[in-house]
Amino acid sequence: MPCGAIQPGVLDCDEEDNNNWFIEKRSTPVDCDMHWISPSDEGTYDSLLSHIGGDGGMDDLITAVAGVSPPHVKSLVIYQTTFAVVSFCGSISLHIDYHGELHGEVWTAILPLVLVEDSAPELVIKHVHTAELQQLKLNLNTAVVFGPRTIHATNTLKYHDAYRVCLLLSFGFIHKENISFVLDDITTNYPSKTDRALLLKWARKPHWKCLKGGDSVHIPRLDNDAIYGVSWMKMFNQLASYTNNSNHVEADEVEECPYQLRRWISQQRFYFLMKYSTSKSDATIKYGKILTSAREAKLKSIGFCFTGKKGSSLHESKWMKKFKLAEAFYNKNGHCLITPSSPDVPKELVRWVRKQREDLKCDKGLSESETKRKKLLDSIGFKWKIYKI
């Protein structure tokens, strides 16, 4: 994202879903290109919450914060949602997010969505007692939560042709006694600093509430089919079934794995390769977008391997089956010159023999498993050349 590419104002990103976003960039510090992108209306706010609910992990996050809150905190509401995008910051600007009177009642959660590989620690935290500055490294799938008195800042950074994206959530225990302090610290277009009635309305119907016999969580959510796609979820569930029953063996290494699932697995690996390709051609961008961040995270949650395992147990088993056929031909005929004209030889064996000549004819650059295969073929008199030149 080039510096200055985002301009402040309201952006209509999706006319079909009527999502509208408010974009702002503070004038200071002038040597930082951080932009904040937040819902501009109720519909967009609810849509964003529904995407982070459920599999987004917000139930667990908000319940965990409630578990360490003071006893008087009986409810929590997510009242501010903002995407922070940055590619350059030339200085450290320490600050706090809330009024000190809100200590124990409001929190900020930072959810990293896009991080730059090999980046230095992204945040700086000032120690409350020693005033020492400590650096904090962000990690995907791990939220950072802090309260009103946490003095922090974006660390200095300069990403080249890259940017960082985090979702910032403000949530807390809102009531009539602290509502003025909460409104003072609001920076979004929706809710606005003047919308006292809206915040009190949300406080009466919070996202988390302490109840007798257990907590109650009410965060809007989309079901998995809506987030990931019906057909994608169907294949994912098949993959998860094989993964759970295969003792950590990749599904496409299991012989009983259906062809359709193998093909789907191969497609996910291809999309992953395109998504993180250094080439930014129209093709890589097009195919890379198919593997959304939500789909990628879903696959990672079951330990999916995005890089195929050359020489895996299944591939080795298939290779050995073909080798046994070639060995049987050698034992019967006294040679291993298998050609299309050889009698009683299946076509797939002829194709396999041709592939071995193409893949293994040179000694240089062979892997350990390929070297072993070549030695096995040599042991049955395999012919690497069938024509004299």
**Domain identity same for 58 and 98:** yes
Answer with the residue of higher pLDDT: 26 or 10.
Answer: 26
349/366 same-domain check:
yes
Residue 17 has pLDDT above 70, yes or no: no
Residue 383's Cα: distance from chain center in Å? 48
Q: Does residue 384 lie within any of the structural domains? A: no
Last residue of a domain, one of 300, 325, 353: 300
Stretch 88-93: mean pLDDT, rounded?
Answer: 91
Same domain, 18 and 135: yes
List 21's β-bridge partners, or say none: 11, 39
Residues 242-295: pLDDT tens digits? 776 654 446 555 556 788 888 898 889 888 888 888 777 888 888 888 998 788
| Closest residue by Cα to residue 141 from 87, 241, 60, 67 | 60
The pLDDT value given to residue 245: 60
Residues 139 and 229 in one domain: no
Cβ-based neighbours of 269, under 8 Å, separated by 6 or more: 306, 307, 308
Distances (CA, A) of 107 to 35, 49, 65, 78, 79: 21, 17, 9, 10, 11
Q: How far is CA 353 from the centre of its chain?
A: 41
Tell me the CA distances in angstroms from 31 to 2, 3, 4, 34, one per residue in order.
14, 11, 12, 9
Does residue 387 belong to any structural domain of this protein? no
Q: With a cut of 90, say whether residue 228 has pLDDT above it.
A: no
pLDDT band of residue 83 (cuts 50, 70, 90) is very high
Is there a single domain that holds both residue 320 and residue 375? Answer: yes
Determine the Cα–Cα distance for residues 288 and 275; give it in Å rounded to an integer. Answer: 4
Mean model confidence pLDDT for the chain: 84
pLDDT digits (tens, 9 = 90+) for 313-326: 446 667 888 888 98
Residues of the chain above pLDDT 70, percent: 86
Q: Which residue has the higher pLDDT, 321 or 235?
A: 235
Q: What is the pLDDT of residues 188-219, one digit of tens each?
A: 999 999 999 999 999 999 999 988 667 788 88
Per-residue 3-state assignment (H helix, E strand, C coil) for 163-216:
CEEEEEEEEECCCCCCHHHHHHCCCCCCCCCCCHHHHHHHHHCCCEEEECCEEE
Contact present, 59 and 228 (Cβ < 8 Å): no
Euclidean distance between CA atoms 36 and 97, whole angstroms: 14
Those residues whose C-beta lies under 8 Å from the C-beta of residue 325, and which sit 6 or more positions away, are 346, 349
Report for 78-87, 314-323, 378-387: range of highest mean pLDDT: 78-87
Whether 93 and 29 have beta carbons less than 8 Å apart is answered as yes
Q: Is residue 334 part of a domain?
A: yes
Please state the domain count of the chain: 3
Question: If we measure between CA atoms, which residue out of 388, 316, 386 comes closest to residue 357?
Answer: 386
State if pTM tops 0.75.
no
Q: Distance between CA 340 and CA 349 in Å, rounded?
A: 9
The answer on 202 and 234 residing in a single domain is no
Task: Examine the fold and report which residue of 276, 300, 324 is the final residue of a domain before the chain moves on.
Answer: 300
pLDDT of residue 302: 85
Question: Is there a single domain that holds both residue 278 and residue 130?
Answer: no
292-341 confidence digits (pLDDT tens): 878 888 898 888 888 765 444 446 667 888 888 988 898 888 888 888 88
Last residue of a domain, one of 159, 194, 217: 217
15 and 111 part of one domain: yes
Categorize the per-residue pLDDT at 221 as very low, low, confident or very high, splitting at 50, 70 and 90: confident
* Predicted local distance difference test score (pLDDT) of residue 11: 43
- Which candidate, 214, 305, 330, 187, places its Cα nearest to that of 253? 305
Pairing of strands 88-89, 133-136: unpaired
Q: What is the CA radius of gyration of the chain?
A: 29
Model pLDDT for residues 105-159, shown as the tens digit of each residue: 999 999 998 899 889 999 999 988 888 999 999 998 889 999 998 999 999 999 9
Tell me: do 288 and 182 sit in the same domain.
Answer: no
Query: Is 317 in the same domain as 246?
Result: no
Structure tokens given for 373:
């295969």
Residue 241 counted as domain residue: yes
Quote the domain boundaries for residue 367: 313-379
Question: Do 145 and 198 belong to one domain?
Answer: yes
